[in-house]
Amino acid sequence: MNDSSNHLMMLDVIRRGTKSVGKIAKVTRLDKTLMEMVVNGLVSQRLVVIAEKKGFFGSKKERNND
């Protein structure tokens, strides 16, 4: 797959309500490095906002589509 299809796939998964990193990786079946590259590209284009939440077991990163 090329980069644009990975970006669109990631945006579609986020649009459907998947927010946590682990769930996005499971649905898209992308490896961690490729997923981080795609997310960083989406953040730089301001299509996705990364929100870090504090929980009982530590911090948790979520992707929000704004």
The structural domains of the chain, with segments of one domain joined by +, span 3-64
Strand residues in the chain grouped as ranges (E): 49-55, 58-64
List phi, psi (to 5°) of 9: -65, -45
**CATH class belonging to 3-64:** mainly alpha
Compute the distance between CA of residue 33 and CA of residue 50 in angstroms, rounded to an integer.
17
pLDDT, average across residues 28-44: 88
How many other C-beta atoms lie within 10 A of the C-beta of residue 14? 21
Stretch 46-58: mean pLDDT, rounded?
A: 76
At residue 35, φ and ψ (nearest 5 deg) are -65, -45
Average of per-residue pLDDT values in the chain: 81
Looking at residue 25, what is its pLDDT?
86
